[in-house]
Amino acid sequence: MIGIEFMGVRGFAEAPEADLVLMTLLFTDIVDSTATAEKMGDARWHERLLAHNDLVRGALDRYQGREVKTTGDGFLASFDSPARAVNSAKAIRTAVSNLGLSLRIGIHTGEPNGPAMI
């Protein structure tokens, strides 16, 4: 048993299984992508989206992230380290801002219950 204290509340939990792995997920989403696409028109939006995708993939590669899937206007990626995910997020935000796009980026770290995506 492992004792856990959080905000003054004490509890006990079973020790984690030895085969669990810590992983970090990064999610991105282009802010107002639908409205932006309508303003730009299909051809210009498609070019901008391809440029966005190339920049995101470059940052994922640089920080050893693994693309899990795209969501049309965003990405889901996994990392073996929270620091790599944060550094990748910073690089993505900087690179994509040069395209005139704003992103929402979320990061979550934990031990998945099931097959890891790393």
CATH code, 39: 3.30.70.1230
Q: Which residue has the higher pLDDT, 6 or 35?
A: 35
Which structural domain range is residue 69 located in? 20-110
Write the single-letter amino acid at 79.
F
Q: Is 15 inside a domain boundary?
A: no
Domain for residue 46, yes or no?
yes
The answer to whether position 13 is within a domain reads no
* 35 found inside a domain: yes
Assess if residue 2 is contained within a domain: no
Residue type, 15: A
The one-letter amino acid at 104: R
The angle that helices 82-97 and 42-62 make with each other, rounded to 10 degrees, is: 150
How is residue 106 written in tokens? 């979320």
Q: Is residue 29 part of a domain?
A: yes
* Residue 89 placed within a domain: yes
Neighbours of 25 (CB within 10 A): 19
Asked if the model's pLDDT at residue 2 lies above 50, the reply is no
- Domain count for the chain, please give it: 1
Q: 57: how many CB neighbours lie within 10 A of its CB?
A: 16
Question: Is 14 within a domain?
Answer: no
| Whether residue 100 has pLDDT greater than 70 | yes
Place of tokens 């959080």: 6
pLDDT reading at 3 higher than 50: no
